[in-house]
Amino acid sequence: MKNQTIVKMNEISMYYGKVMALRSVGIEVQKGDIYGLIGDNGAGKTTLLKILTGQIYPTVGEVSMFGEHRQQELLKVRRRTGAIIESPGFYPKLSAEKNLEYYRIQRGVPGKEKVKEVLEKVGLYEVRKRKFEEFSLGMKQRLGLALALLGSPELLILDEPINGLDPSGIIEIRNFLLRLNQERKITIIVSSHILSELEQIATVYGFLSKGRLLEQITAKHLREQCSEAVEIEVDQTEMYTALLEKELGCTNYKVMPDRSVSIKTSEEETACYSRLASEHGIEVLRLNRRKISLEDYYMNLKTRKEAGIC
């Protein structure tokens, strides 16, 4: 069965006056994906998510959601989405329950029991009578997630949903998002600066830097890219890489910006790389093994792109 494209952004650029927020960004999200959006502060993540939710319009480019791209149709299909973008506009003096009831009526969501249902899902039912102004930052994040779920969305768009949560709260929200995705088949687009958390739930990643999409990659492909590697620094890099290919038939390596050589390999093969250098009079300055983390991959990707290596 062919995958259904839920979101497609084509050559999206966004300018605030003369300031570029996004430049020629194209992403594609399939039904059932958990799309992890990664980028530094100011990379353009929130701007991208605001365009998807219709809060702002791009300067250039086209947005398609659920197969629709005309503005009138996008207004309709956005009712099938739920979102947390920055801080939701809750009323400080109202309780969590009354805030959600207000939005339920405003959005025309049928059934008063819906408020109880979403509060239970995010673990706030016991404090439903407490005023919003009395909530901790983590509790406010949970209430925002409850609001996003109010209309039984097919697509969730979440900007930093675990910000402010303690470790146990992060685990609960992570598991909750996984259940929504796996049991209810809800497609999720989520940004986070806690990359170790995205690594545990995302099925696809989009890497943003300075308003540009550096790469879109599946989790499966990323795991292959982040497999264990030997990093070796020698005094004659060009000669060493030539020997890697000629003597060992090794092509699965990259020369890094600091001139070290990163070689994807198994643990038992480590010794042969230092031996290759010593047998040909090449001095080994540094050698270590490491498994590349998502953070490492992102930083290396930024460095390579900025250096024009790829």
Residues constituting the chain: 310
What string of pLDDT tens digits covers the 310 residues of the chain? Answer: 457 999 999 999 999 998 999 999 999 999 999 999 999 888 999 999 999 999 999 999 999 999 999 999 999 999 999 998 877 789 999 999 999 999 999 988 888 899 999 999 888 999 999 999 999 888 888 899 999 999 889 999 999 888 777 888 888 888 889 999 998 899 999 998 788 888 889 999 999 999 999 999 999 888 877 777 888 999 999 999 999 999 988 888 888 888 899 887 765 577 888 899 999 999 999 988 877 778 888 888 888 777 664 4
Question: CA-CA distance, 299 to 297, in Å (whole number)?
Answer: 6
pTM, entire model: 0.79
Look-up of token digits 């952004």: 9
3-state secondary structure of 117: helix
Q: Which helix (H) or strand (E) holds 204?
A: strand 204-209
Fold entry, domain 227-291: Alpha-Beta Plaits (3.30.70)
List the domain boundaries for the chain.
5-223, 227-291
Question: CA-CA distance, 139 to 116, in Å (whole number)?
Answer: 16
Fold entry, domain 5-223: Rossmann fold (3.40.50)
Question: CA-CA distance, 85 to 76, in Å (whole number)?
Answer: 19
Q: Which residues lie below 8 Å from residue 107, measured CB to CB, with a gap of 6+?
A: 150, 151
149 near 118, Cβ under 8 Å?
Answer: yes
3-state helix, strand, coil in the chain (%, to 5): 40, 30, 30
3-state secondary structure of 288: strand
